[in-house]
């Protein structure tokens, strides 16, 4: 059967690779520090968004425009939700229309500090369902892809989540978020303390939601959870995790409830057992939704 979205997915892979090359000056594997500094040569102006630690650079904006322009030429009727377009005032509502959900640089703080994990994330949804996801980890030069119903891959090799069912034998990924309000930080620390003291083998964070999810899909960590992420951080990664055999959930009640891309909360895990255990340990606060009109 003809896959109607395959051309769009091929386009996304090309666009993500080109975007990644802009981020990393085309020289991907060399001295990472030097590579990122080269990219920063014409990009020294670091600006802030929702808080003093929520960073954006001209490269974020340039890369998002590059992707959107190239898609518009090929798919003029498609819609977009892009991190930097939303920051500039565009709406952030997921409709049934074919929609490209773009995070031009996931891990801008890493990018600015030359911490070597930076990704371009492109998800594509139709009828509010993610059809394909592409995450290009540009400094590692790894292309993660997933097509709904057809599996998840890294550079063409199939991905499979870890088969570890015991959370006490697991590594869990999470992040500290971009709020430095002491009360908000206390809530994050209290969840982290509960998870760490299960006890688990370790807690890690790559500094990018998209790469954290690819680590779940690759079986390197058993789960990733975070409250406060946005739809562009997780759209592509969520399909990569589920197509690698993982589970996705929100953090409501005992069983988490189904993932809602706009709720700004996610648990992505190798198994339902581990995902539900994390849901039980974390503080289920609800930040303003991505599709809440007055959130900014
Ligand atoms: N100071 C910060 N620390 C970690 N993540 C941050 C952050 N500020 C923004 N984020 C965003 O939150 C996501 C989850 O932690 C990250 O992938 C990152 O996406 P960004 O780089 O695209 O803004
Ligand atoms: Mg992001
Ligand atoms: Mg970003």
Average model confidence (pLDDT) across the chain: 91
pLDDT in tens, 39-64: 655 555 789 988 888 888 888 898 99
> Two tokens at 230?
């946005």
Same domain, 152 and 46: yes
Is 283 catalytic? The answer is no
- Do the annotations mark residue 131 as ligand-binding? no
Summarize the confidence of residues 131-157 as an average pLDDT: 96
Tell whether 153 and 258 lie within a shared domain. Answer: no
Ligand 1 pocket mutation, candidates 63, 180, 207, 266, criterion most atoms within 8 A of CB: 207
Average pLDDT in the 134-154 region?
96
Confidence (pLDDT) at 35: 47
Are residue 14 and residue 149 in the same domain, yes or no? Answer: yes
Do residues 114 and 192 both lie within one domain? Answer: no
Q: Tell me if 212 CB under 6 Å of ligand 1.
A: no
Mean pLDDT within 167-187: 95
DSSP reduced 3-state for 88: coil
Is residue 179 assigned to a domain? yes
Judge whether 289 lies within some domain: no
Q: Are residues 185 and 123 in the same domain?
A: no
- Asked if residue 292 is part of any domain, the answer here is no
Q: For residue 271, is pLDDT > 80?
A: yes
196: which residues sit within 8 A by CB, 6+ positions away?
A: 203
Which residues have beta carbons under 5 A from ligand 3 (an ion)?
83, 103, 105-106
Section 223-240 average pLDDT: 98
Domain identity same for 176 and 116: no
Residues 104-133, mean pLDDT to the nearest whole number: 94
Domain encompassing residue 251: 167-281
Residue 172 maps to a domain: yes
What's the average model confidence in pLDDT over 126-133? 98
Of 158, 189, 211, the last residue of a domain is 158
Q: How many domains does the chain have?
A: 2
Are 98 and 190 contained in the same domain?
Answer: no
Q: Which residue has the higher pLDDT, 22 or 146?
A: 146
pLDDT digits (tens, 9 = 90+) for 82-112: 999 999 999 999 999 999 999 999 999 998 8
Pair 201, 141 in one domain: no
What is the CATH number for 139? 3.30.540.10
> If DSSP codes are grouped into helix, strand and coil, which group holds residue 266?
strand
With the CA atoms of 267, 273, 278 and 281 taken in that order, what torsion angle do they form, in degrees rounded to the nearest 10?
150
Say if residue 100 is in the same domain as residue 183.
no
Q: Would the CB of 209 count as within 6 Å of ligand 1?
A: yes
Tell me, yes or no, whether 294 lies in a domain.
no
Nearest CA, atom 18, ligand 1: 107
Q: Where among 130, 158, 186 does a domain terminate?
A: 158
Residue 104 has what DSSP assignment?
Answer: E
* 215 and 144 within one domain: no
Element (DSSP H or E) covering residue 257: strand 256-258
226 domain-assigned: yes
Q: Give 281's pLDDT tier (boundaries 50, 70, 90).
A: very high
Confirm whether 108 is a catalytic residue: yes
Residue nearest atom 9 of ligand 1, based on CA coordinates: 54
Paired tokens of 97: 């229309």
* Shared-domain flag, residues 151 and 208: no
pLDDT for 239 equals: 98
Residue 83 annotated as lining a ligand binding site: yes
Q: Is the pLDDT confidence value at 74 over 80?
A: yes
Active site residue 155: no
Please check whether residue 122 lies inside any domain of the structure: yes
Which residue in 60, 64, 84, 106 is the catalytic one? 106
pLDDT above 50 for 282: yes
Residue 189 belongs to a domain with what CATH number?
Answer: 3.40.190.80
Domain boundary among the residues 115, 136, 158 is at 158
> Looking at the structure, do residues 178 and 112 belong to the same domain, yes or no?
no
Residue 96, annotated as binding a ligand: no
């Amino acid at each position: 059967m003809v896959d109607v979205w395959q051309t769009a997915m091929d386009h996304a892979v090309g666009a993500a690779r080109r975007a990644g090359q802009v981020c990393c000056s085309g020289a991907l594997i060399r001295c990472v520090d030097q590579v990122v500094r080269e990219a920063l040569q014409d990009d020294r102006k670091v600006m802030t968004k929702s808080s003093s630690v929520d960073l954006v650079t001209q490269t974020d904006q340039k890369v998002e425009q590059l992707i959107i322009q190239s898609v518009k030429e090929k798919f003029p009727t498609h819609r977009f939700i892009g991190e930097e377009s939303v920051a500039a005032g565009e709406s952030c509502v997921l409709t049934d229309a074919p929609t490209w959900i773009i995070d031009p640089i996931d891990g801008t703080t890493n990018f600015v500090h030359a911490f070597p994990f930076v990704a371009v994330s492109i998800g594509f949804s139709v009828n509010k369902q993610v059809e394909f996801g592409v995450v290009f980890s540009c400094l590692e030069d790894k292309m993660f892809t997933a097509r709904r119903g057809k599996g998840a891959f890294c550079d063409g090799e199939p991905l499979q989540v870890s088969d570890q069912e015991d959370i006490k034998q697991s590594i869990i990924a999470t992040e500290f978020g971009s709020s430095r309000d002491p009360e908000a930080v206390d809530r994050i620390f209290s969840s982290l303390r509960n998870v760490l003291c299960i006890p688990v083998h370790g807690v890690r964070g790559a500094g990018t939601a998209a790469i954290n999810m690819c680590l779940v899909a690759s079986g390197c960590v058993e789960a990733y959870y975070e409250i406060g992420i946005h739809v562009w951080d997780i759209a592509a990664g969520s399909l990569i995790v589920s197509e690698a055999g993982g589970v996705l959930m929100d953090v409501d009640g005992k069983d988490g409830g189904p993932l809602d891309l706009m709720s700004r909360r996610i648990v992505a895990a190798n198994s339902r057992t581990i995902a539900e255990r994390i849901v039980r340990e974390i503080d289920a606060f609800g930040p303003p939704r991505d599709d809440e009109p007055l959130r900014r």
